[in-house]
Amino acid sequence: MAKNPYRQSVFLTSAAKISQIPEDSGREVAFVGRSNVGKSSVINCLTENKGLAKTSKTPGRTRLMNFFTVENGVMLVDLPGYGFARVDKSLKDQWRQNINEYFTTRKSLCGVVLIVDIRRELRDEELLMLDWCDSSGVPLHMIVNKADKLPYSHQKTALLSIKTSLKDFNATSQLFSVTKKIGVEEAISRLNTWLYD
């Protein structure tokens, strides 16, 4: 059983712009995904703290870059969701600029967790993230969330399709379900590899 240091995670700060984010030191993993994939719920599941990352029935509630300290020198980062949130164009442009700057300048970033919905095909945003991580040498792990929404045989088919899409990238993938606790151990092991090995 993988050790889970993430259950001791605490909220550190929120940032509306790059100048407000914590010092660029140590190691951190960023969580990204479309606004309706359950990103905050995945973080809360992995940290065993339902109130750590704010969740909502309204997609796109994560509008800031949120930083959580696991322990000294180790952080998890919840980035704003993309693609679905009903916000004005200027705010979306600000999000895009912040995320782009974060990814291109952050030296402590040692891995990206890209969360997708098992019932949806990969779109341009996901492919751009894969391209960026590949060209930057940052490993990416795709959490195929909401696996419980499909029968077991369909879960396997969907994951195989995604693995085929990832074959040209430096990326791994797995099934995950917050409600059924599918894949929690595997995801924690991946985080441990990046943050502690």
Give the pLDDT confidence of 88-125 residue by residue, as tens digits.
667 667 767 778 889 889 999 999 999 999 999 998 88
Give pLDDT, residue 56.
58
Mean pLDDT of the chain: 89
Give pLDDT, residue 136.
87
148 pLDDT more than 80: yes
This prediction has a pTM of 0.92
Segment 20-45 shows an average pLDDT of 94
57 pLDDT more than 60: no
83 pLDDT more than 90: no
Segment 37-47 shows an average pLDDT of 95
For residues 109 and 170, what is the distance between their CA atoms, to the nearest angstrom? 16
For residues 194 and 196, what is the distance between their CA atoms, to the nearest angstrom? 6
Segment 141-166 shows an average pLDDT of 96
8 Å CB contact between 171 and 142: yes
15 pLDDT more than 80: yes
8 Å CB contact between 42 and 145: yes
8 Å CB contact between 40 and 53: yes
Q: Residues 62-71: pLDDT tens digits?
A: 578 899 999 9
Place of tokens 């004005």: 88
Got the DSSP string for the chain? ----GGGG-EEEEEESSGGGSPPS-SEEEEEEEBTTS-HHHHHHHHHT-TTSS---SSTT---SEEEEEEETTEEEEEPPPBSS----HHHHHHHHHHHHHHHHH-TTEEEEEEEEETTS---HHHHHHHHHHHHHT--EEEEEE-GGGS-HHHHHHHHHHHHHHTTTSSEEEEE-BTTTTBTHHHHHHHHHHHHH-
For residues 178 and 151, what is the distance between their CA atoms, to the nearest angstrom? 16
For residues 86 and 101, what is the distance between their CA atoms, to the nearest angstrom? 23
The domain 5-196 is placed in CATH, from the list 3.40.50.300, 3.30.365.10, 3.30.300.90, 3.30.460.20, at: 3.40.50.300
For residues 50 and 147, what is the distance between their CA atoms, to the nearest angstrom? 19
